[in-house]
Amino acid sequence: MLTFDPITHRYFEDGRRVPSVTQVMGLLYHEVFRWGNVAAMERGSDVHARVEKYEKGQLRTIERDYAGYLDAWIKFRNDHRLGIPTIIETPMFSKRWGFAGTPDHVFGDLLVDIKTSPAHCPLTAIQTSAYKQLIDESGAPKIKRRMEVLLRPTGKYDVLEFKDFPSDFRRFQCCLSLYQFMVKNYQKANKEAQDGTVGE
């Protein structure tokens, strides 16, 4: 059974900690986040939370700073004639590959990943391929389309669709292989260093 700690952003399958999509892609994200800032990442999280509440019918008011982003989301939904989401921010686990993650929003066979960054990020293609794998394993309808939607504070949006799932997921598998290599070979060494047992 999968459990998720939203405070530490950690996933556990039957009590055993498993890596998240962002952890698996850590080496790639390190370069991206190096050029970002904390305020921008916090804004992205805040926008995600408000969109989630809106879709669940739990949003009663919206702060002025976030109103434009929500307007952009609503315009995107209307322009693409999207109905009620079939999946909203739901933690999932891949038994086949051993990783977990939380896809943003799914509308039937369409996966939508929300971003508030100034430009589209190529890494989202890899990220959403992992989410597609999680959804496809869950028993939900198979994902046929993946989109990144950039929400703007002006109420506008921009969309990029990813169409090469095999290549995108192969890149994720490379990340997963490197992550597993690091855990296997360096987790023990790091623990020994912390315990002061290296070289004994």
79 lies in a domain?
yes
140 lies in a domain?
yes
CB 119 within 8 A of CB 135: no
What is the count of structural domains for the chain? Answer: 1
Total Cβ atoms within 10 A of residue 184:
9
Q: CB within 8 A of 128, min separation 6: which ones?
A: 103, 111, 113, 146, 148, 162, 168
pLDDT score at 108:
96
pLDDT score at 38:
67
196 lies in a domain?
no
Over the stretch 69-94, which tens digit does the pLDDT of each residue have? 999 999 999 999 999 999 999 999 99
CATH assignment of the domain containing 182: 3.90.320.10
Q: Report helix, strand or coil for 105.
A: strand
200 lies in a domain?
no
193 lies in a domain?
no
| Residue 191 scores a pLDDT above 80 | no
pLDDT score at 29:
75
145-151 vs 110-115, strand pairing mode: parallel
**Residue range(s) defining the domain that contains residue 57:** 2-188
194 lies in a domain?
no
Over the stretch 8-51, which tens digit does the pLDDT of each residue have? 889 999 999 999 999 999 888 776 555 556 677 788 899 999 99
Match 């391929």 to its residue by tokens: 129
pLDDT score at 143:
98
What's the Cα-to-Cα distance from 10 to each of 6, 64, 67, 68, 156, rounded to whole Å?
Answer: 7, 31, 30, 31, 33
124 lies in a domain?
yes
Q: What is the pTM of this model?
A: 0.89
